[in-house]
A and B are shown apart, each in its own frame.
Chain A
Amino acid sequence: DAGITQSPRHKVTETGTPVTLRCHQTENHRYMYWYRQDPGHGLRLIHYSYGVKDTDKGEVSDGYSVSRSKTEDFLLTLESATSSQTSVYFCASQSPSSGNTIYFGEGSWLTVV
Chain B
Amino acid sequence: DQQVKQNSPSLSVQEGRISILNCDYTNSMFDYFLWYKKYPAEGPTFLISISSIKDKNEDGRFTVFLNKSAKHLSLHIVPSQPGDSAVYFCAATVTGNQFYFGTGTSLTVIP
Contacts and interface: CB of A to CB of B under 8 A. Distances in A.
B95 A100 contact: yes
A104 interface: yes
Contacts of B34: 100-101
Contacts of A45: 98-100
A90 B44 CA distance: 9
A45 B93 CA distance: 13
A43 B98 contact: no
B49 A100 contact: yes
B45 A58 contact: no
Contacts of B100: 45
Interface in B24-45: 32, 34, 36, 41-45
A46 to B, nearest CB: 11
Interface string B79-111: 000000000010101011011111110000000
A105 B38 CA distance: 11
Contacts, number: 46
A106 B101 contact: no
Contacts of A42: 6, 89, 101-104
Given A42-B104, A43-B89, A104 B43 contact: yes
Contacts of A4: 43
B43 A96 contact: no
A100 B32 contact: yes
A41 B46 CA distance: 19
Contacts of A106: 42-43
15 contacts: A42-B6, A42-B89, A42-B102, A43-B44, A43-B91, A45-B100, A96-B96, A103-B46, A104-B36, A104-B43, A104-B44, A104-B45, A105-B43, A107-B41, A107-B42
Given A41-B103, A42-B104, A44-B101, 13 more contacts: A4-B43, A42-B101, A42-B103, A43-B44, A45-B99, A58-B98, A90-B43, A100-B32, A101-B49, A102-B46, A103-B46, A104-B43, A107-B41
